[in-house]
Structure 1
Amino acid sequence: MKELTEEQKQIVEKEIRKEIKKTKTFFMQDEIDKSVFQILELINNEVKNKTEIKVEKFNNLEEVIESIPSEVFKYMGIKEIKQFLSIDNIQYFQDSFYINLFGKEKIIVHGVLYLFEKYPLIFNNCIFDNEKDIPITLKQIQKLSFLNCIFRQKINLNFQECLDVFQMDNCVFEKQCKIQGTFKDKVYFDNSHFYNYVDFSKCEFEKTASFYEVKFEKIPNFSQVIFKGNLNVVNTNLNFDFKNLEKKINQEYDFYEKARVEYEKARVEKETGILYPEKSLDKFANDFRDSFRIFKNALIKDNNLLDASNFHKCELYCKEIELKQSWNKLKNVTTDEDIKQNNRNHSQLVDFLLLGFYRKLCDHHTDLLRVFNNLILLIALYALFVFGFTWLHDDKLKDTKAILTLFGFFDKFKFYFNIGVAVCMSFGLILLLYKIDKNFIKSFKIFQCLPYIKKWLLKVFKKEIFIKLFSRLKIIILDLCHLMESLVIALLIPCVFYILFAIFGLFLNLDKDFKYLLFVNSLFVSTYICLVYTKSLFLGRYVVLILSYVVFFIMLISQPSIIHPLIGKIMGDFDKNLSYPSLLILNILYTILMALVLFSLQKTARKNSIVPS
């Protein structure tokens, strides 16, 4: 076939008009007529050009007609994209429209949304800068790729289905990003950087979803996401700590409440429907927990147990934050149902405390060094308590008619001991009130003088010197306050037991030594728990742990039987001092804590693949 005849041109023109009509273009009739003529010329020139080099592309009219849909799709696609984006650098290859602006021009996002449903698009080195966030729900989008693109403003992409590959590789998202829909083919977000919040909630990935080396500056939302294919999160910074996670959940809750209150005012004025239902903080924590649970299950399905354990850790962080809200759910009891509800809330409070303890003990079986440090701390603390017992039972004291038992020592100084208990109770109650109400401590006049003291110091010292000095002192004092807070709580717990015994001990006909026994043993447990749970990083952890290691190695070299009484029996070097009745309960409590820590140690080692499963 060398050239189209006039009759063939009319047939081809008619077919071109049919195809253009199917595209549902927004162009007016005059522009459509021009497009028909230009497409016809392109087809005719293609026939002639091919015949000149003696390679016939079309053997007959039927082959020409078969090529019309692709030619119309290519021509009208380029024409509509140029019209929407006001750019000329558009190419068509491999059944996709390729747009490369080399980062020099900006594209308004809402001019692009219409094109997403209609054409397979590849954007490279483009800058998207929309000034308004208008969520538009699309039915189906074609192949969509963003390579090395920058999104300056919010992105809200909501669609029912993406029929082909979806890519956002090496992209930068400066503001919030929300993507919702079902991906029928592979999805790639490799090497992208999300500087703000990103929301993938309710998405469905039917094939591979890759987040290789993605950087999330804020915690992403993957609540109710379904991963049917493989999940790649290699080198993705999704390993958040507890503080960042709690801060993010609180921010999301505050943002939602602010929007809900504002909309509620507008709803009352305009009498419109409810868009923002009330949602408690624990519900937000549950949404984030669902995100980490989904990642965990997807990685377990791929047999990636090591990375799955990190997401399980974040899942437990969210559960702890969720259970923390049980304090706010306690009701005034008026019915039997209220009693049952309060019992459930109290049970959740216990679970909250246990999760917090395990987070501090071993970071939910993911931090081997931390749990080993806590094991050394337990051994050192036990050794110090044992030495306190044995020193007061030392036979050398008999010659001076000194106290032969620890309880006799306490009883001799009962008055001072009671004063100490009262002081500890006072500080402990003040601390508890401060924890409940942060403004409580400000009612004391001594704390009202702090701003005046700061102003006086600014006058005495140079501003630069004072700022440096004050910032360093602030860190040290804050760390010391955290340690003192932990020690006060550690003393408060045995003091409470001591006072309870003083009240009920007479009615239960218990020996007076029982209250001292209860005090000392509860002090051992509370001190260990508070040192594990302390917020003091330098004094409470580093300094205490260094001293613990020193005590541990001294015991290991000089008296290894002190590490545990069973070791002494096995080695035949049992210390008789450990058989005192006063130490019996302490040994039992120490054994329980030791079993708990050793269990966490071996489980953490297995989860970190140090010990084979």
Structure 2
Amino acid sequence: MQKLLESYGILVQENIKDTNVEINENTITICNTNINKIDLSILEQKQINEITIANCEIDYIYFANDNNVELFFIDCVFKSQITARRSNFHKKVSFEQCIFEKRIDFSRALFSNQVNFSLTKFECEARFIETKFSAKYTNQENIENNFREVVFKDKAFFDSVKFKARVSFEIARFESEARFVEAKFLAEYTSQENIENNFRETFFKGKVSFDSVEFKAKISFSIAQFESETSFSYTNFNHVVIFFHTNFKDSILFRNTSFFKNIIIFSEVKFNNIKFISDKKLNETNTNDIVDQIYHFQDTTFKGIVNFENMYIKDLNFKNVIFNNIVVFDNTTLNSKPKFINCTFSNQFNIKQEHIQYNFKDISKDSNDLTKLPNLENKNKNDDFTKPANLRDLFRKLKSNRIAHHNLIDASELRAQELYARELELKHQKDKTLKEKVEQWQLIFYRNLCDHHTDLVLNLKWLATTITVFLCLYFFSKYGLNFQHFINEYNNNSIIKYININFIYKFESYNGFIFIFYTYILIFMLWNVFRIFFSFAVILCCIINQPKLIFGIANLIGDNSYNAFENLLITLYTLIVGLIIFSLQKTARKNTIIPN
């Protein structure tokens, strides 16, 4: 039997049992023996089409330049180095549950048919550089390039490799460096259920490089674990990429990475340090492919620094995300405000205030139709974000983050936004208590008065308007339509004399002037653009003629006699102005106090 096998280019031990060998016309099967050498060129000369070797130890195997034999190695141990550079394999090749104890090299080899390395262990370096896996798609059940549960104990090189059909590294282990630089995964999309490029539950212990890689169809890194530095720079994901429950324990880099439909989704992923970087510049004549990208992070934890550098992002969404370290947006352009739902900010969140600043109209726009807070679920419209309760929680957390890092100016702005959301929350809440109703009206009052102590100019406008309204009401209550009495009382004043000569005399009667005067007051009090100018004009006249009126309650002290309406008017005016002045001083020193 030994001499017969030797004629086929197979050298075995002399004590091989006949029961361990089966030779048919075009096939050979060997099991449970030690093989010194296999020469595939001799097998081809003997017109052997298929060889199956199971549970054997093999010292040397020599491949021909063109191999037309179907190779099936099952549970075998290869003791010596294997070199098959530039070899062509035209039929199926299977190394299933085998062990390669020495270095293997299939660089620039061509596999024209299905390849199976499942459950195989590579004890030393494995090189598949510029290797072509050209098998065509067969059916849904078969994986044309199967590396399922493979273990690479040493470095694995798949640089510039080409996979024409589907490939699976599911549950594989890379215990040293793994390189897929300039690799091409060219499998066509088959169906929604299939994953054409499967790295599910893959373990990467060493450095990983997926730089300048092209993925033509779907790829999954679900439940994968990356222990060291990982890079996806200059990589093109031309279909869906799945990062679900993926764990990155070291830094990960996405530099000029392009995603399918410009959308990237990370769900239940754990990051250490992560960078999204673009080297491309946006100008008026050239819009790069980064502009329309959309990023979704859901149930994700960032343990280290998060850096979005020089990016152009259309939408950025975070849901149930924990930021345990610094977040930086360096020279990043956001076409819309990021959405944050139930996020936690533990360190500095360095984003421009304009990207997280909402006025009351922004917040209320999407919540006008809301009627009951517990039933606001509408996943298609991102209503989770526009819920007043969720927005209030976001603003509260961002405010606390700003306070913790001594940014009190931005914190006060976020405090105002928190109160906007609280107001809307109360607006849509049914069965409010008396305390909640009072709180709602209090929030409305302070929002319109001074934007919750953030708008000094608005506060000053209302102070001027309040004084003007009081003076006009006081003027009407005292003089009514008898404008002549007012002129006679203050005729010695240069301003009144000027008005009397240049305006009143031009009317045929005082009544005509009075009508025009009160109409003028009404128009200017309702017309917001000119209200402030009219208000300061009235106040100026009062200061020149009777400044005491401005001081409210002081008018009740002394020998002046007022009727009941004037007493009530002065008292209400004093209370309102006192409240406005209190708010004014608080607004004026907002940068020196910590928001509540």
TM-score (norm 1): 0.52
Q: For residues 364 and 138 of structure 1, what CA distance do their matches in structure 2 show?
A: 43
Match of 1:233 in 2: 351
- Pairs within 5 Å for 1:442-457: none
Residues 610 and 590 of structure 1: CA distance in aligned 2, closer, same or farther (over 3 Å): same
User: 2:355 is paired with a residue of what secondary structure?
Assistant: coil
- Pairs within 5 Å for 1:290-305: 290-305=393-408
Match of 1:606 in 2: 589
Deviation at 1:183, TM superposition (A): 1.6
Q: Which moved more, 1:149-158 or 1:134-143?
A: 134-143
Match of 1:585 in 2: 568
Match of 1:146 in 2: 254
- Pairs within 5 Å for 1:48-197: 69=154, 77-79=178-180, 82-84=183-185, 95=207, 97=209, 99-100=211-212, 107=215, 110-111=218-219, 113=221, 117-118=225-226, 120-125=229-234, 128-130=237-239, 136-140=244-248, 142-149=250-257, 151=259, 152-162=261-271, 164-170=272-278, 172-175=291-294, 177-196=296-315
**Matching of residue 247 in structure 1 with residue 356 in structure 2:** no
Match of 2:101 in 1: 14
- Structure 1 or 2: more helix by fraction: 1
**Matching of residue 547 in structure 1 with residue 534 in structure 2:** yes
Is contact 1:218-1:248 (8 Å) kept? no
Deviation at 1:314, TM superposition (A): 1.3
Of all paired residues, the percent bearing the same amino acid is: 23
- 1:476-509 deviation line (CA, Å, top 9, x unaligned): xxxxxxxxxxxxxxxxxxxxxxxxxxxxxxxxxx
Which structure has the larger Rg? 2
Is contact 1:13-1:36 (8 Å) kept? yes
Deviation at 1:212, TM superposition (A): 4.6
Is contact 1:215-1:236 (8 Å) kept? no
- Compare relative contact order (CA 8 Å, sep 6+) and give the higher one, 1 or 2: 1
Q: Give the one of 311, 327, 343 matched to 2:414.
A: 311
Is contact 1:85-1:111 (8 Å) kept? no
Deviation at 1:590, TM superposition (A): 0.9
Q: Which runs of 5+ in 1 are unaligned?
A: 1-5, 18-25, 42-66, 87-93, 263-275, 330-341, 399-530
Is contact 1:372-1:601 (8 Å) kept? yes
Is contact 2:263-2:295 (8 Å) kept? yes
- 1:202-226 deviation line (CA, Å, top 9, x unaligned): 2122221223555544443333322
- Pairs within 5 Å for 1:406-425: none
Match of 2:20 in 1: none
Match of 1:208 in 2: 326
Q: Which runs of 5+ in 2 are unaligned?
A: 1-59, 61-77, 83-98, 105-113, 130-151, 158-173, 188-205, 279-289, 487-521
Deviation at 1:229, TM superposition (A): 2.5
- Pairs within 5 Å for 1:525-540: 540=527
Deviation at 1:157, TM superposition (A): 0.7
Deviation at 1:150, TM superposition (A): 5.0
Q: For residues 344 and 207 of structure 2, what CA distance do their matches in structure 1 show?
A: 29
Matched residue type, 1:224: N
Matched residue type, 1:145: L
Paired residues, what number?
A: 394
Match of 1:321 in 2: 424
Q: For residues 9 and 240 of structure 1, what CA distance do their matches in structure 2 show?
A: 68
Is contact 1:375-1:594 (8 Å) kept? yes
CA RMSD of aligned residues (A): 5.2
Match of 1:414 in 2: none
Match of 2:54 in 1: none
Match of 1:286 in 2: 389
- Pairs within 5 Å for 1:251-266: none
Deviation at 1:108, TM superposition (A): 5.7
Match of 1:576 in 2: 560
Q: For residues 369 and 186 of structure 1, what CA distance do their matches in structure 2 show?
A: 39
Deviation at 1:351, TM superposition (A): 2.2
TM-score (norm 2): 0.54
Q: For residues 213 and 236 of structure 1, what CA distance do their matches in structure 2 show?
A: 14
User: 1:290 is paired with a residue of what secondary structure?
Assistant: helix
Is contact 2:366-2:386 (8 Å) kept? no
User: 2:245 is paired with a residue of what secondary structure?
Assistant: strand
- Structure 1 or 2: more strand by fraction: 2
Q: For residues 237 and 446 of structure 2, what CA distance do their matches in structure 1 show?
A: 46
Matched residue type, 1:77: A
